Amino acid sequence: MDLISTSLLLIAAAFAAGVLNAVAGGGSFLTFPALVFAGVPPIMANATSALAVSPGYLGSTLGFRPELRALPTRRLWREMGIAATGGVAGALLLLVTPARVFAGIVPWLLLFATALFAAGPWIARRAAGATADGPGLARWREPALLAVAIYGGYFNGGLGILLMALYTVTGESRIHTVNALKNLNSLVLSWLAVGAFVIAGAIAWREGLMMMVAATAGGFFGARWSKRLPAHAVRSGVIATGLVMSALFFYRL
């Protein structure tokens, strides 16, 4: 592909990812494969994809400021610290993973993230039914948060679903608070992971900055379009994209 075609592919993928993240999530199903198909090595593509979608977390978090202010400050700082630790640990784990090994597990990661996204509504219903056991499960919240944050720092796909399920199962029954905590910890762990990638020199800056702008624009328009687009159609599109990308990466093995 020539430079113009590659740039158009990355801009289109990032814009569409921003729209998807604003409407239903799953934007990394577009940004990561687009970078790989554009010739960026898989580990660098994963790091650059994380950079590209990272601005969206800030806007999502700011939208839930009232819910966050209602929570104990000590709890917020503690969980942010856990998310930060896990995000950096996951990023470092990615950076020490041999490129050949990571290329081999990418299809499985994409398939897992797709399955997680497809099962999202079912997970939410099951989690809501488990809230009666919340106080007993609450002691597992922080260890589970660390594990999810490590996954998020290593590979971002399906992170939001995992965090929402975690908070719901461990006793948080208020959906807006669940969303607020999900967005806050996604912001913290993703930005810390991106910081580790930057320090390690794992970012493809030309592609990453271009995609950041496009993804931010996509998020802006996606927020406007979210009330007009049928949610089931968007979810079906994300799942189909994830399955196609998984199949293509399995084919490339």
The per-residue pLDDT for 183 is 86
Mean pLDDT over residues 24-49, rounded?
Answer: 89
What count of other Cβ atoms lies within 10 Å of the Cβ of residue 99?
11
Burial 185-220 (b: 16+ CB within 10 A, else e): bbbbbbbbbbbbbeebebbbeebbebbbebbbebbe
Instruction: Please determine, for residue 142, whether its predicted confidence score (pLDDT) is greater than 80.
Output: yes
Query: SS3 helix, strand, coil % of the chain, rounded to 5?
Result: 85, 0, 15
The per-residue pLDDT for 128 is 63
Fill in the DSSP letter of residue 133: G
Express each pLDDT in 73-85 by its tens digit: 999 999 999 999 9
pTM: 0.84
Structure tokens at 36: 């790989």
Grade residue 136 by pLDDT with cuts at 50, 70 and 90. low
| Nearest C-alpha neighbor of 202 from the set 54, 38, 92, 57 | 92
Express each pLDDT in 178-216 by its tens digit: 888 988 998 999 999 999 999 999 999 999 999 999 988
